[in-house]
Chains A and B, each alone.
Chain A
Amino acid sequence: MTLTVQDISVARGGIAVLEGVSFTLTPGHALVLRGPNGAGKTTLLRAIAGLQSTLRGDISAPEGGLVYAGHADGIKPTLTVVENLAFWAQIFGTTHIDTALAAYELTALADRAAGALSAGQKRRLGLARLLVTGRPLWVLDEPTVSLDTHATGLFAAAIRAHLAQGGAALMATHIDLGLDEAEILDISPFRASAAVLDSFDEAFL
């Protein structure tokens, strides 16, 4: 269940954004990607999740062991909170949605239509989906957006419990979750250098 990324390059919109990224993520560990806006965090995470092709390099992710959570939560507004979660539980072949609801304090909202939730509550529902998938490797893109301090604490607790069970998490986030076991990888040194002519004059000489 180890994720190994070797020397990969990824492109967005036809332009290489990252080059030569390598890291290994073993069970029980979390890796936090840091970098300024536009550095290529989302592109890298999508490539690891298999939603995008890479220019070069190898990604060896555990087969069927990965779950991805992007900027959008994939919530259907006309379904209730429970129906949304139960759907994903069925898709991933699991049953325990009650613990996921409790972990993000959504039990009281269980029968409310997801469209009537606030942005932070929707995000909590999106994160609760990770718990019902039962997959060991979480790939998270900005998981704490629109969460308040308390909900961020719930998320950190969920990550900690997941790591304790032998899971792993790879996430791009700007805030400090207070996770001592998390390693930090700054991806700005891997920024791809655009192919620029060494000297303007040489082009004419």
Chain B
Amino acid sequence: MIALLTRDLRLALRAGGGFGLGLAFFLIVVVMVPFAVGPRADLLSSIAAGVLWIGALLACLLSLDRIFALDWEDGSLDLLATSPIPLEGLVSIKALAHWLTTGLPLVAAAPVLAVMLNLPPQGFMPLIISLLLGTPALSVIGTFGAALTVGIKRGGLLLSLLVLPLYVPTLIFGAEAARRGADGLDITTPLAFLAGITCGTIALLPFASAAVLRINLR
């Protein structure tokens, strides 16, 4: 399984691997917002947390169809399904690799971009914590969506439609935590909900993803 993780990370970092795709998209969205909203520091700082969360979520969504599509096209998925690795392990590793190549860079870039949106200083820590807690759920849910649409040519639209509603709870509690943090309020409750959602998806969804992958391969 470690071999699979290192292979996926290596593939992502090589040319055409898609590493940086989500990051670049996140960067573009956040840089464009001040141009669209106008140079009003008070307005920007009040929407900063929400914009950063939306940007991170969409950047995550952008790279989802790569999770299984490439392995499906070149036949590796069939070969992996007949290998000693259980499918539950396979989808968990795929989700982890997706988070390491997409979610983690977004978390790292968020504080830098938050400066551009004039996020209040007390909001930085809550923003990082909420993204750190929330992005794993985005990757795990996204892996489930990718497993559902594997084998469908250009299934990106279907994938987005399936996954976006499932992203809503994570977005609500994640953005709520970041926003309350920026306003200097207590963030324990939304963070607890966010952590709960993440733990729940990590515990349950790999089994669902493996089940739909099994059906799709057959």
Contacts and interface: CB of A to CB of B under 8 A. Distances in A.
Nearest to A72: B75
Contacts of A91: 3-4, 80, 83-85
Contacts of B161: none
A74 B75 contact: yes
B7 interface: yes
Given A74-B75, A78-B14, A51 B82 contact: yes
B218 A92 contact: no
A77 B15 CA distance: 10
A52 B3 contact: no
A92 B82 contact: no
A73 B15 contact: no
Interface residues of B, number: 25
Contact of A51 (B2, B4, B78): B78
Contact of A78 (B11, B73, B82, B218): B11
B3 A49 contact: no
A90 B85 CA distance: 11
Nearest to A126: B75
Interface in A75-113: 75-76, 78-79, 83, 87-88, 90-93
Contacts of A76: 7, 11, 74, 76
B7 A79 contact: yes
B16 interface: yes
A71 B79 CA distance: 11
A129 B15 CA distance: 24
Contacts of B16: 78
Nearest to A68: B82
Given A50-B82, A74-B78, A76-B11, 18 more contacts: A64-B84, A69-B79, A71-B75, A72-B75, A74-B74, A74-B79, A76-B7, A78-B14, A78-B17, A79-B7, A79-B10, A83-B7, A87-B3, A88-B79, A91-B3, A91-B83, A91-B84, A129-B79
Interface of B: 2-4, 7, 10-11, 14-17, 71, 73-76, 78-85, 217-218
